[in-house]
Structure 1
Amino acid sequence: MVSAAADAGRVHDVVGIGIGPFNLGLACLSAPLDLDAVFLDAADEFRWHPGMMIDGATIQVPFLADLVTMADPTSPYSFLSYLKTTGRLYAFYIRESFYPLRAEYDAYCRWAAAQLDSLRWGRRVVALEVDPDDADLWLVRAVRAVQGGSVAAGDDGTGSSGRDDSRDGAGGAVETYRARHVVLGTGTSPVVPAALRGLLGVGGSSRPGDSAGGLVVHSADYLPHRERLAAAPSVTVIGSGQSAAEVYRDLLGTLPGRDARLDWVTRSPRFFPMEYTKLTLEMTSPEYTDHFHGLPHEQRRALGREQRSLYKGISGPLIDEIYDTLYRLSLYGPVPTTLLTDTELLAAERDDATGEHVLRLRHAQLGEVHERRTSALVLATGYAAQVPDFVLGVRDRLDWDPDGRFAVARDYSVDGGRGRVFVQNAEEHTHGITAPDLGFGAWRNSSILASITGREVYPVERRIAFQEFGVPGDARRVEHAAGAR
């Protein structure tokens, strides 16, 4: 691949790849610093889970878990600054809820993004390479989107160096950015259960829609398909977390007045509420992250499975709202819905005669296998971090665990202790439940900026919890039990 430099001879202190909330927060915290930072994303603008912007849905963390406040409460990019600027501060105050609407949080992020000149939209990163002229520098190559024969709207048709860029095979301009540090914030991708991959004709994570198997939609794309789902004779929601509950609640409101049925299937033994007690919340702390990171690989893997309900459960108020809705609908007769817990989806196939999906299900407690039919499926089956293809060319320069995932150091670097390549939200298996937590994003960014700049620009708290997660430092150790968990 031949390309021209995006900035001839320029070396950026930081190149961020991907502009989700975490790298957007890093961009906001970098803005007032003497730091040359640039952030690239293939999208043409910021959009946060657009397929799940269900009317009235809130985020599951308080407004203080914005892009910057937990690192710098005085930042002009805070959620409160957004409310003040848009004339909504008093309305939010009177509302008396710490939890912003999901659409409101998206609007806030878009507001913050509009104020930054370090963001480069329409840049699809295709390669990360070591600079052949300086082994301490990285080259980030990105294809610049072409629209109607010219580059993305808002650009002037040349690279930012003022010189014409070369083109890739698809006609896009290729830019090269030189960087001292790279921060990977490429996010997570929707997961398709193995039992459905044959039905969809896909081999892994994807975003299903219409396929050979009919209407099968991941919750990430729920809203664009909502009308068709609401008109389907029967819909089955698969999943156990907040997204499954929100989709089920939304479709439940479409049942009155039509002959349709709505089912909800989860392999969880019950509809778990997200645990939100204060001492449990201390697990989203630097101390617990230290403790978790120091555990053996296999032990972290087991704990990761056990702790999913701590942040992948359903908010208590939503569970109650679903019950109250079912109770209200039952006043007029049996509600055409079935909620199945402890039930695993084993397989699914298409019945060409009826156009339905035939689901093969197993009840774990009883060990019995049975079948159910449905016209449409909504997969609220979560997301998973993916290793981006563009890093594979420098695989030998990065750190990997036995499962082929990034082996992320405590400081979030993945390049053998050199502190030049960092990751965001790709470290749940090494750092625990703080990885996807919006409230911990500003702390992680403070830590990454401290590594990049060599100083704590934003103070990094090291002790916030009242409890100890390991053996106290002042304890006298007597023995180490063999095989201890």
Structure 2
Amino acid sequence: MSRVSDTVPTLGDGVYDMICVGFGPASLAIAIALHDALDPQLSGSPAATHRPKVCFLEKQKQFKWHSGMLLPGSKMQISFIKDLATVREPRSEFTFLNYLKSQGRLLSFTNLGTFLPSRLEFEDYMRWCANRFEDVVAYGQEVQEVVAGGAEASGLTQSFLVRSKDLNSGVISTRRTRHVVIAVGGKPRMPHGIPQNPRIMHSSAYCTTLPDLLKDHSSPYHIAVLGGGQSAAEIFHDLSKRYPNAKTTLIMRDSALRPSDDSPFVNEIFDPGRIEEFYALSSEERRISIAADRATNYSVVRLELIEQIYQDMYMQRIKNPDSSTWQHRILPRHTIEGVYQIRTNECLKIHLQTADNRRQKEVLEVDALMVATGYTRNTYEELLSKVQNLRPTGSIHWGVNRNYSVILDRAKVGSRAGIWLQGCNESTHGLSDSLLSVLASRAGELVESILREHLPKPGRARALL
């Protein structure tokens, strides 16, 4: 078994200017922003004499975006204008509209009369963008750690080593870079007490894993879904079509499915300009602000989907007033007390507890449990565990500057080296931090901050890496 210490020499010649860990939407937006920043046709500036040396390391073997939740008919929750380029540079060749034009669907999409493309189409748009950067992306690379590159003559750390494992060969590679951007996305969150079991899956694996477990779409399975947000509601609604003879049960802590607030004034909290204002708040003010705006993004469902589900539930009520016998049930104010499996490869027994603990406990026998309880966004802590000594004296947590750079002790780290975090700064940069809404403008800020010296002068220039 390969170990981190079993490394091959640093890849490539010289030092990278920037390595991005992960190649999801956040890193893809960075690649696009850098492409545009080097394109003289967009800036009117002479072409750059030196192109920065960059690399993107991605664990998946090809570009994918939430492949487990590409449900038939599911739509984006934001306008296509908030794609990976338009808000920052509408003239970019990487806009969603240019993608439509290249696919011969621009007028057809216009005839839909919507700002919300299907999730399937938006994923295809991002893959179309990603294909342009294959020469600077290493797929199948699982980054294991970031370590200091060693002190140079100045006595300061001027670079970092990024170690990754090739998932095909098992070989550990080391790349040296001045700047590391960590943009690994969220890690599926499983509630405490939910055991590991092949019949228990996170919502992120719904489309990719459940069909392999429950292969007969006509069987009378019983499938439970845990959660009260958009993903849980989408899965609960889709199951009745995917498995028309199955019983489905939605288990949720709240008393009802609640609609997301996407009204115009509230939606302005996702504008890039709000980040500056939010970052300037005190920690307590930020906490209060996030709590006040949770109905825009957490444990909420788009109203149209709620109405569809209610319509389906109402039709059951017409046929049979006894809700305990319905094919599709919603159990509000319930939590899972325990999940058990008597014998291997047999159904699960889910013990439920009501919130008030007054009603009789219910036990469900199910063939599968889908857990739609969100994501944690702290993977960077493990990746940076070997460079904790570079934090300012007395710091026990990673702090982040307004420009997304990690706060480091500059008595130990040179000014031309840095670590940057993407998609895990909600507490300092607001609710939009893990969403698509700000990716285009944020990527432009990041490229300007990290690679300013490599961009054509004057201005921020914009040509392919």
CA distance in 1, matches of 2:222, 2:76: 29
Deviation at 1:366, TM superposition (A): 6.5
Match of 1:314 among 301, 310, 328: 301
Larger deviation, residues 371-380 vs 226-235: 226-235
CA distance in 1, matches of 2:435, 2:347: 38
Please give the per-residue CA displacement for 1:171-205, whole angstroms capped at 9, x wherever unaligned: x2x33322221110011111111031xx32xxxxx
Match of 2:354 in 1: 363
Residue 393 in structure 1 maps to residue 393 in structure 2: no
Q: Which is helix-richer, 1 or 2?
A: 2
Structure 2 stretches of 5 or more lacking a match? 39-50
Residue 226 in structure 1 maps to residue 211 in structure 2: yes
Counterpart amino acid of 2:303? G
Match of 1:122 among 140, 148, 158: 140
Residue 61 in structure 1 maps to residue 78 in structure 2: yes
Please give the per-residue CA displacement for 1:376-419, whole angstroms capped at 9, x wherever unaligned: 211011111123433211122247999x7642222111132757
Equivalent position SS for 1:100 = coil
The 1:227–1:247 alpha-carbon spacing in structure 2 relative to 1, beyond 3 Å, is farther
Indicate the percent of aligned positions where both proteins have the same amino acid. Answer: 27
CA distance in 1, matches of 2:161, 2:394: 24
Equivalent position SS for 2:138 = strand
Match of 2:114 in 1: 97
The 1:255–1:286 alpha-carbon spacing in structure 2 relative to 1, beyond 3 Å, is closer
Please give the per-residue CA displacement for 1:201-229, whole angstroms capped at 9, x wherever unaligned: xxxxxxxx51xxxx111111111313745
Within 5 A, what are the aligned runs for 1:174-185? Answer: 174-185=172-183
The 1:433–1:36 alpha-carbon spacing in structure 2 relative to 1, beyond 3 Å, is same
The 1:295–1:269 alpha-carbon spacing in structure 2 relative to 1, beyond 3 Å, is farther
CA distance in 2, matches of 1:392, 1:63: 38
CA distance in 2, matches of 1:351, 1:337: 25
Equivalent position SS for 2:81 = coil
CA RMSD of aligned residues (A): 2.8
Please give the per-residue CA displacement for 1:450-469, whole angstroms capped at 9, x wherever unaligned: 2113487389xxxxxxxxxx
Residue 285 in structure 1 maps to residue 271 in structure 2: yes
Structure 1 stretches of 5 or more lacking a match? 148-169, 201-208, 460-485
Match of 1:414 in 2: 406
Counterpart amino acid of 1:124? E
Equivalent position SS for 2:350 = strand
Deviation at 1:290, TM superposition (A): 3.2
Within 5 A, what are the aligned runs for 1:326-475? Answer: 326-328=313-315, 330=317, 332-333=319-320, 335-352=326-343, 355-364=346-355, 368=359, 370-375=361-366, 376-388=368-380, 389-398=382-391, 406-416=398-408, 420-454=418-452, 457=460
CA distance in 2, matches of 1:363, 1:245: 20
8 Å contact kept, 1:22–1:185? yes
Q: 4+ runs of 1 displaced by more than 4 Å? A: 227-230, 328-334, 351-356, 365-369, 398-402
CA distance in 1, matches of 2:175, 2:433: 27
Match of 2:44 in 1: none
Within 5 A, what are the aligned runs for 1:28-67? Answer: 28-32=32-36, 33=38, 34-67=51-84
The 1:48–1:394 alpha-carbon spacing in structure 2 relative to 1, beyond 3 Å, is same
Deviation at 1:74, TM superposition (A): 1.0
Please give the per-residue CA displacement for 1:202-260, whole angstroms capped at 9, x wherever unaligned: xxxxxxx51xxxx111111111313745545322110011110110001123565x3x4
CA distance in 2, matches of 1:37, 1:73: 24
The 1:358–1:11 alpha-carbon spacing in structure 2 relative to 1, beyond 3 Å, is same
Equivalent position SS for 1:453 = helix
Deviation at 1:445, TM superposition (A): 1.1
CA distance in 1, matches of 2:365, 2:401: 46
8 Å contact kept, 1:191–1:382? yes
Please give the per-residue CA displacement for 1:109-131, whole angstroms capped at 9, x wherever unaligned: 11111111322212222221222
Match of 1:483 in 2: none
- The TM-score normalised by the length of structure 2 is 0.81
